[in-house]
């Protein structure tokens, strides 16, 4: 194709033109009302933290979502495709310290910058529903929900050990501690501190959060597994060992204090319990220590070891240590007297903080007992003879009880049931379920977050802020310092208030909420973003929910995605929504890496989206992000690849602009509906017409079918782009025939307009411009998605590989639809096949019509 200087593909110019055009039409990407007669489709990408700069991970995430949204618009859906800002959080305070700039100003400036980047990328969001979580019209509803949850008993305050990041000078949720370090500061060890904290009772929904995972078929199995592990449901038994009265050997059942409750999943092994192990932080340990200074010292050592291990994120590798307390406990089933120990590997915040130790049937107990010479008593005999009956510890539940009194001979499963029943009858235990999931600590001793709407009154204690006083506004004039504690505590105008109950002087709560609160329900707010009376209108939410397709990074598999599920269930129980789950389908895209490593400033391998867009345009950048790898896999960013996509778009540009006049000859303002028909008529006089026309149309209709299918299922957008490239390659190979007019104008129109339509979800700028140049009707975003005609897509002749004994020998061409007999005949007639079968015995011929032929020859 000859190069025409005036007609070079100039993404900068095209994209500027269309960005302005789209900005002038704010309704373009707006959803219709809930009374629309189109089917609804809610596509959502995770909202970004406004750091001030989009990174390539964002670009990839949004390119996927935008392609889907655009295709759904073209398919005639009522599409909701919103965007917002997860705008609270620590970086704003750090920036304030560094640049002496108020967090609000810094944040809003960043939002403006990132919004500009998004517009430059041509992402189709309805900005009328934009939400910014750090503004009072949003965060007031965090407060409102907090109060509703408090009314439901889902909020409580508790002094507890918390993860403290010295760098952030604040508390972290368990989910924010990664390998013992802060999730934001990879090198900062998290410390343990005791503080009064606000908690949300997510564990009230533990069972439902777990059960619901089975129904989330549209979620990746990986995410569901991670959530299952995180919730960590464990079925077992709680049993009370009775504390022996000191020095007497008598068992004392007098009061609750005199019992030690343990949790076990293997109550069937209880006759093998030869000690009881307490967590160093167990309350009973403190009682023992009070009377025993020596013990106190040793326990302090254990506690320190545990704390260190926990801070190192290395609890699993701690060397097991313990100290005997000198006290004894009685097994409630048989009165067996066992020593009570304190051990560094027993955790106070799991189960009851105490265990029964059964060395014969638990690896850890076995190791501990071996170290300290504690008795090992076998109580389970293997059920299978393949097991060595003497080998210990024996961990399997395939066994039969021995040395267990009246329970001897029972299987482990039967024994567990019988022992539980006995415990309940004797009121010394019960069946119990324990979760690894902890309640959600939402308190943060920081400034830049939602103020917790509570008031401390000397007379009335904790008093919720009445609804009519919401929002509790975050003061804007504030000095951010590096001192510990909440900065809000140093703002008297904020702290000093009056008690809503008695009108007396009172203090406001100065903790703010974890920012995961903001993102737990933001997608509901999009449906009714301007509502000043409620977080959203339930009827509108019911129309849009559940989200049809949620797209984001897998790094949120447990944090955000479990909190959001909890929040939806909580709102359902408040009567606000009817759906049990927020999103029907979830897609987690892979990371964007460079040279095999995650992009990071420290590695110096960060590629800036702005650079890419400036050099190659938004279309090429986005399309490369979709082309370079399937969306669920990691993507290695290679700039040469972006250049390649840009060159491809240049070929499309030249091809379409070169033959646009042919299309114009057919009139403008067309609707693509009639195209196939018209093209078919154009070919009709000659019957089969030009073979090239037919084969180009075949390729087109195959491509349409492939891409349409992929949007519905596989989401392999990389192969969609490749398919468009193949189509363009074929068109380019037909350049001479296109130029000579050999291809009828209606066919040219069909080919080019559909090519542009297929390109629209992936490269919206060039598609919009070429649509215009072809004289397409209306905006391409509302043009109907192409429909593949199976008749036209069908091959006349297909190639069938012929194998002999599984090895490829020849390829024969047969008319498509040939039956097995015809294919077999064609295969046997092939010269190469004949030369190899002559004089030999063809034992068997396998013909898979349309697929292959295999001859078994001896």
- Is residue 621 near RNA by the rule CB under 7 A? no
Q: Cβ 773 to RNA, closest distance in Å?
A: 19
- Is residue 825 near RNA by the rule CB under 7 A? no
Q: Cβ 128 to RNA, closest distance in Å?
A: 37
How many CA atoms lie within 13 Å of 242's alpha carbon, on the beta-carbon side?
21
- Is residue 397 near RNA by the rule CB under 7 A? no
Q: How many CB atoms lie within 10 A of CB 101?
A: 15
> By CB under 7 A, what part of segment 253-292 binds RNA?
263-266, 279
Helices 609-627 and 103-121: crossing angle, nearest 10°?
50
Number of residues that bind RNA (CB under 7 A): 87
CA 293/CA 297 separation, integer angstroms:
6
Q: Cβ 279 to RNA, closest distance in Å?
A: 6
Q: Are 663 and 749 in contact (CB under 8 A)?
A: yes
**Of the two residues 326 and 650, which places its CB atom closer to RNA in the complex?**
650
**Of the two residues 313 and 500, which places its CB atom closer to RNA in the complex?**
313
> By CB under 7 A, what part of segment 780-799 binds RNA?
799
- Point out which span in 80-88, 380-388, 637-645, 679-687 binds RNA (CB under 7 A): 637-645
Q: Which of 291, 300, 534, 722 binds RNA (CB under 7 A)?
A: 722
- Point out which span in 55-63, 199-207, 405-413, 843-851 binds RNA (CB under 7 A): 843-851
Q: Which of 105, 191, 245, 726 binds RNA (CB under 7 A)?
A: 726
The CA distances from residue 708 to 233, 715, 723, 759, in Å, are: 42, 10, 12, 12
- Is residue 383 near RNA by the rule CB under 7 A? no
Q: How many CB atoms lie within 10 A of CB 181?
A: 20
- Point out which span in 109-117, 207-215, 246-254, 648-656 binds RNA (CB under 7 A): 648-656
- Is residue 355 near RNA by the rule CB under 7 A? yes
**Of the two residues 474 and 599, which places its CB atom closer to RNA in the complex?**
599
**Of the two residues 343 and 576, which places its CB atom closer to RNA in the complex?**
343
Helices 559-573 and 221-231: crossing angle, nearest 10°?
80
- Is residue 5 near RNA by the rule CB under 7 A? yes
Contacts of 424 (CB under 8 A, 6+ apart): 430, 431
CA 606/CA 589 separation, integer angstroms:
19
Q: Which of 63, 281, 480, 554 binds RNA (CB under 7 A)?
A: 554
Residue listed under structure tokens 């018209």: 678
CA 548/CA 80 separation, integer angstroms:
10
- Is residue 820 near RNA by the rule CB under 7 A? no
**Of the two residues 111 and 231, which places its CB atom closer to RNA in the complex?**
231
CA 215/CA 194 separation, integer angstroms:
39
> By CB under 7 A, what part of segment 307-336 binds RNA?
309, 315-316, 318-320
- Is residue 718 near RNA by the rule CB under 7 A? yes
Q: Which of 628, 760, 823, 833 binds RNA (CB under 7 A)?
A: 628
Q: What are phi and psi of 477, to 5 degrees?
A: -85, 105
CA 216/CA 581 separation, integer angstroms:
8
Partners of residue 159 on adjacent β-strands? 196
Q: Which of 59, 374, 577, 721 binds RNA (CB under 7 A)?
A: 721
CA 531/CA 525 separation, integer angstroms:
8
Q: Which of 20, 207, 458, 634 binds RNA (CB under 7 A)?
A: 634
- Point out which span in 74-82, 219-227, 417-425, 666-674 binds RNA (CB under 7 A): 219-227
Q: Cβ 217 to RNA, closest distance in Å?
A: 15
- Write out the H or E segment, with its range, that includes residue 193: strand 191-200
> By CB under 7 A, what part of segment 439-458 binds RNA?
none
CA 692/CA 483 separation, integer angstroms:
76
- Is residue 635 near RNA by the rule CB under 7 A? yes
Q: Which of 23, 290, 808, 829 binds RNA (CB under 7 A)?
A: 808
Tokens found for residue 814: 């047969």
CA 341/CA 279 separation, integer angstroms:
9
Pick the closest to residue 77 from 536, 522, 549 (CA basis).
549
**Of the two residues 171 and 727, which places its CB atom closer to RNA in the complex?**
727
**Of the two residues 350 and 711, which places its CB atom closer to RNA in the complex?**
350
Q: Cβ 289 to RNA, closest distance in Å?
A: 19
- Is residue 74 near RNA by the rule CB under 7 A? no
**Of the two residues 295 and 645, which places its CB atom closer to RNA in the complex?**
645
Q: Cβ 392 to RNA, closest distance in Å?
A: 16
List helix spans (H) across 316-405: 363-372
Pick the closest to residue 368 from 302, 451, 465 (CA basis).
302
Q: Are 329 and 281 in contact (CB under 8 A)?
A: no
Q: Are 161 and 306 in contact (CB under 8 A)?
A: no
Q: What are phi and psi of 691, to 5 degrees?
A: -60, -35
Pick the closest to residue 679 from 696, 658, 702, 656 (CA basis).
696
- Is residue 239 near RNA by the rule CB under 7 A? no
Partners of residue 43 on adjacent β-strands? 549
Peptide bond into 393 cis (omega under 30): yes
**Of the two residues 140 and 266, which places its CB atom closer to RNA in the complex?**
266
CA 173/CA 331 separation, integer angstroms:
37
**Of the two residues 257 and 598, which places its CB atom closer to RNA in the complex?**
598
Kindly report the CA angle at 466 between 462 and 467, in degrees rounded to 5? 140
SS3 278: strand
Q: Which of 647, 782, 834, 840 binds RNA (CB under 7 A)?
A: 647
List helix spans (H) across 628-690: 639-664, 675-683
**Of the two residues 133 and 331, which places its CB atom closer to RNA in the complex?**
331
> By CB under 7 A, what part of segment 735-774 binds RNA?
none
- Is residue 436 near RNA by the rule CB under 7 A? yes
List helix spans (H) across 5-135: 11-23, 56-74, 90-99, 103-121
Q: Cβ 198 to RNA, closest distance in Å?
A: 23
Q: Cβ 197 to RNA, closest distance in Å?
A: 19
Q: Which of 127, 144, 350, 670 binds RNA (CB under 7 A)?
A: 350
Contacts of 602 (CB under 8 A, 6+ apart): none
Q: Cβ 739 to RNA, closest distance in Å?
A: 13
> By CB under 7 A, what part of segment 594-613 binds RNA?
none
> By CB under 7 A, what part of segment 669-698 binds RNA?
none
Q: Cβ 103 to RNA, closest distance in Å?
A: 29
- Point out which span in 88-96, 108-116, 392-400, 712-720 binds RNA (CB under 7 A): 712-720
Pick the closest to residue 524 from 100, 252, 141 (CA basis).
141
Binding string, residues 77-116; x marks residues near RNA by CB under 7 A: ----------------------------------------
Q: Cβ 690 to RNA, closest distance in Å?
A: 20
- Is residue 52 near RNA by the rule CB under 7 A? no
Peptide bond into 134 cis (omega under 30): no
Q: Which of 7, 36, 99, 225 binds RNA (CB under 7 A)?
A: 225
Peptide bond into 506 cis (omega under 30): no
> By CB under 7 A, what part of segment 167-206 binds RNA?
178
Instruction: DSSP letter for 177, please.
Output: E
Q: Cβ 469 to RNA, closest distance in Å?
A: 39
């Amino acid at each position: 194709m000859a190069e025409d200087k005036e007609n070079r593909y100039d993404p900068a110019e095209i994209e500027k033109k269309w960005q302005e055009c789209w900005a002038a039409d704010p309704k373009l990407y707006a959803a219709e009302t809930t009374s629309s007669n189109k089917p609804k489709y809610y596509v959502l990408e995770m909202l970004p933290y406004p750091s001030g700069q989009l990174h390539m991970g964002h670009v990839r995430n949004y390119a996927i979502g935008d392609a889907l949204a655009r295709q759904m618009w073209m398919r005639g859906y009522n599409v909701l495709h919103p965007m917002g800002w997860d705008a609270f959080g620590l970086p704003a305070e750090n920036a304030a310290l560094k640049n002496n700039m108020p967090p609000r100003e810094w944040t809003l400036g960043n939002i403006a910058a990132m919004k500009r980047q998004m517009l430059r990328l041509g992402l189709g969001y309805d900005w009328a529903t934009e939400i910014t979580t750090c503004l009072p019209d949003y965060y007031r509803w965090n407060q409102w929900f907090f109060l509703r949850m408090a009314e439901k008993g889902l909020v409580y305050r508790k002094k507890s050990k918390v993860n403290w990041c010295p760098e952030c000078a604040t508390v972290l949720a368990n989910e924010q501690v990664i390998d013992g370090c802060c999730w934001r500061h990879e090198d900062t060890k998290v410390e343990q501190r005791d503080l009064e904290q606000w908690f949300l009772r997510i564990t009230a929904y533990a069972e439902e959060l777990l059960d619901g995972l089975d129904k989330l078929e549209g979620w990746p199995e990986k995410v569901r597994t991670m959530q299952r592990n995180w919730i960590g449901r464990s079925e077992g038994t709680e049993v009370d060992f009775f504390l022996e009265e000191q020095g007497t050997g008598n068992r004392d059942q007098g009061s609750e204090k005199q019992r030690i409750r343990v949790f076990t999943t293997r109550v069937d092994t209880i006759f093998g319990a030869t000690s009881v192990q307490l967590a160093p932080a167990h309350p009973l340990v403190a009682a023992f220590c009070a009377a025993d200074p020596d013990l106190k010292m040793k326990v302090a050592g254990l506690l320190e070891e545990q704390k260190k291990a926990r801070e190192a994120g290395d609890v699993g590798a701690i060397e097991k240590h313990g100290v005997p307390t000198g006290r004894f406990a009685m097994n409630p089933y048989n009165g067996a007297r066992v020593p009570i120990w304190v051990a560094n590997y027993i955790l106070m915040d799991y189960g009851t903080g105490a265990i029964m130790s059964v060395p014969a049937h638990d690896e850890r107990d076995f190791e501990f007992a071996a170290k300290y010479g504690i008795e090992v008593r076998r109580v389970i005999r293997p059920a299978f003879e393949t097991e060595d009956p003497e080998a210990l510890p024996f961990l399997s539940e395939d066994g039969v009880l021995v040395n267990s009194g009246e329970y001897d001979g029972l299987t482990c499963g039967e024994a567990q049931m019988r022992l539980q029943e006995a415990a309940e009858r004797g009121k010394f235990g019960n069946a119990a379920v324990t979760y690894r999931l902890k309640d959600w600590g939402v308190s943060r001793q920081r400034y830049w977050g939602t103020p917790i709407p509570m008031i401390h009154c000397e007379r009335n204690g904790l008093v919720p802020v009445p609804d009519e006083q919401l929002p509790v506004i975050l003061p804007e004039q504030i000095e951010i310092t590096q001192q510990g504690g909440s900065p809000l505590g140093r703002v008297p105008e904020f702290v000093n208030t009056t008690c809503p109950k008695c009108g007396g002087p009172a203090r406001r709560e100065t903790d703010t909420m974890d920012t995961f609160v903001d993102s737990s329900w933001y997608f509901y707010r999009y449906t009714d973003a301007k509502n000043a009376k409620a977080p959203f209108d339930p009827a509108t939410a019911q129309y849009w929910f559940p989200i049809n397709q949620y797209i984001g990074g897998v790094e949120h598999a447990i944090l955000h995605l479990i909190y959001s599920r909890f929040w939806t269930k909580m709102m359902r129980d408040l009567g606000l929504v009817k759906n049990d789950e927020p999103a029907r389908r979830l897609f987690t895209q892979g990371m964007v890496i460079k040279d095999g490593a995650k992009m990071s400033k420290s590695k110096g391998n960060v590629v800036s989206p702005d650079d890419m867009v400036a050099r190659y345009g938004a279309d090429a950048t986005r399309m490369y992000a979709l082309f370079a790898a399937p969306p669920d896999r990691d993507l290695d960013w290679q700039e040469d690849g972006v250049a390649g996509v840009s060159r491809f778009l240049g070929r499309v540009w030249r091809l379409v602009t070169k033959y646009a006049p042919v299309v114009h000859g057919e009139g403008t303002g067309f609707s693509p509906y009639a195209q196939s028909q018209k093209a078919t008529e154009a070919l009709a006089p000659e019957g089969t017409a030009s073979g090239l026309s037919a084969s180009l149309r075949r390729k087109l209709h195959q491509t349409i079918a492939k891409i349409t299918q992929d949007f519905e299922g596989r989401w392999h957008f990389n192969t969609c782009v490749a398919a468009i490239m193949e189509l363009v390659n074929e068109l380019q190979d037909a350049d001479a025939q296109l130029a000579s007019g050999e291809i009828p104008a209606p066919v040219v129109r069909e080919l080019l307009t559909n090519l542009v339509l297929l390109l629209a979800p992936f490269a919206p700028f060039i598609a919009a411009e070429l649509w215009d140049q072809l004289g397409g009707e209306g905006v391409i975003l509302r043009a109907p998605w192409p429909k593949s005609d199976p008749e036209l897509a069908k091959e006349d002749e297909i190639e069938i590989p012929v194998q002999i004994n599984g090895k490829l020998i020849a390829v024969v061409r047969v008319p498509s639809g040939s039956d097995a007999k015809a294919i077999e005949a064609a295969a046997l007639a092939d010269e190469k096949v004949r030369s190899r079968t002559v004089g030999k015995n063809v034992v068997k011929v396998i013909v898979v019509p349309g697929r292959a032929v295999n001859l078994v020859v001896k």
